[in-house]
Amino acid sequence: MKTNVTLVKCLFLLCFFVSMRVAAQPDYAFKNPLLISGTALQAGAVYKYSDVKPGVDAIMTLGYISPDVTVVELDGTSGYPEAIQPTLNLPAWTNGYLEMDIQFVDAGTISAAVQSEIAVTCIDVDGIPDNDGLGNSIHEFDEINLGGGYADFATVGGELSVSQSETGLREPTSREWIIQVVILLQKR
């Protein structure tokens, strides 16, 4: 009987610690990017984010930047400290976007670190129906390349629509778009 109780206790502790390991996955924290090649805030610039989660670094490359779009700040401080929040300037009534490619690597190396799941949240995707009193609207959207992954989403209100293609997820406002931010997440 004593052996059975000890065995049950061991199995319980094993299940407890395994469940804690599974449930306690850390969120990503993108902080303090370090320019490792290219010209800062320009297409082709490569940045390293160290320890985005334990044992994992992220290498982010600025891809295509639309003409007339200026990347003012790679990681704005007005929102969530853990998020990547670029600040873009562009002339009024101009379409434009920025592409960002993010690769996850084992900390301190360039070896790909497979991520079983990557949570992405599109924040403040909105617009102004009559921005200037003349009927000119501003509308934004975020587009995420899922690399063949899946999406689980919920929207509130009628201004936001979500569409999913084979490779991505798009959250536009219901009218035309003026600003586009594209985040490319690739599982390697």
Total domain count, the chain: 1
Q: 103 near 112, Cβ under 8 Å?
A: yes
In the Cβ-directed half-sphere of 180, how many Cα atoms lie within 13 Å?
A: 18
pLDDT digits (tens, 9 = 90+) for 124-135: 777 777 777 888
Please indicate, yes or no, if residue 99 is contained in any of the structural domains.
yes
Residue 19 lies in a domain: no
Average pLDDT over residues 45-68: 95
pLDDT in the model for residue 55: 96
Tell me how far apart the alpha carbons of residues 119 and 187 are, in angstroms, rounded to a whole number. 13
pTM of the model: 0.69
Domain that holds residue 119: 27-185
Local confidence band at 26 (pLDDT 50, 70, 90 cut-offs): very low
The share of the chain scoring above pLDDT 70, in percent, equals: 63
Asked if the structure places residue 49 within a domain, the reply is yes
